[in-house]
Amino acid sequence: MSDRVLVAENLGKTYPLPKGELRVFEGLGFELERGELAAIMGASGVGKTTFLNLLGALDRPSEGRVLLDGEDLFAGTDREVAGVRNRKIGFVFQVFHLLPEFTALENVSLPLMIRGVPKKEAFLKARDILEEVSLEDKVHSRPSQLSGGEQQRVAIARALVNEPRLLLADEPTGNLDWKTGEKVLRLVLDLHERRGLSSILVTHNEKIARYCHKVYMMEAGELKLLSSLPS
Ligand SMILES: Nc1ncnc2c1ncn2[C@@H]1O[C@H](COP(=O)(O)OP(=O)(O)O)[C@@H](O)[C@H]1O
Ligand SMILES: [Mg+2]
């Protein structure tokens, strides 16, 4: 039997609009096996971010459900759902969403402190993971003092500091130049392997998609499997 970390069943999302509503997709099914690295490609506006936000519990579906380790991700209150997200899911955004007045170390420590980890211990752990993304000499820099690639590495460190098993990255290189983007994607691939993650990567980079076990194309509200390698 396959070991599925994440399962989406009959997933649908409809946004209310000033006049009427926008149905982005409905009846979507998806599975991610443990250790798998999946890429999702597709044109702008098809619903990739909407889909990833549902899988990452950043937004609730209009229909259907998401099972994380066999448990309904949205079963609890908003507060409970946020708690599960903080512990179990690492999310990397296209825009880095770092807090500008905080240093790299403080930004990375936040998910730990939200969980109640004492500051000293949180800082030690944050320092370790910043070292893992080669930012040991930038721990006290604020986001404005860092390059785009460095800011995204801080965001990746923040996503992984709680040691989630699931990593969701939504066009993590969308705001970076090609060469920096390539480096960031390699770091993501590397961390996926090293930390034994199960990961979904929304990307336009076909070269990187070739390193993924599965490549999906989102088109007209559907998710089509383009290629599949054994994981
Ligand atoms: N909060 C929202 N309210 C209304 N419409 C939205 C909202 N977020 C996204 N959309 C719309 O949903 C569609 C899918 O958007 P998105 O998931 O961001 O696509 P992608 O990430 O593939 O570019 C788009 O038409 C977008 O305008
Ligand atoms: Mg998007």
pLDDT digits (tens, 9 = 90+) for 198-216: 999 999 888 888 889 999 9
Ligand 1 pocket check for 24: Cβ under 6 Å: yes
pLDDT at 205: 87
Q: How far is the CA of 219 from the centre of ligand 1 (A)?
A: 13
Q: Residue 82 — very low, low, confident or very high, per pLDDT cuts 50/70/90?
A: very high
Exposed (0-12), middle (13-18) or buried (19+): which is 156, by Cβ within 10 Å? Answer: buried
The percent of residues above 70 in pLDDT, for the chain, comes to 98
Q: How far is the CA of 106 from the centre of ligand 2 (A)?
A: 27
- Helices 148-160 and 119-132, packing angle to 10 deg: 130
**Residues in the 5 Å CB sphere of ion ligand 2:** 48-49
The pTM is what? 0.95
Ligand 1 pocket check for 16: Cβ under 6 Å: no
Fold designation for 4-102+146-228: Rossmann fold (3.40.50)
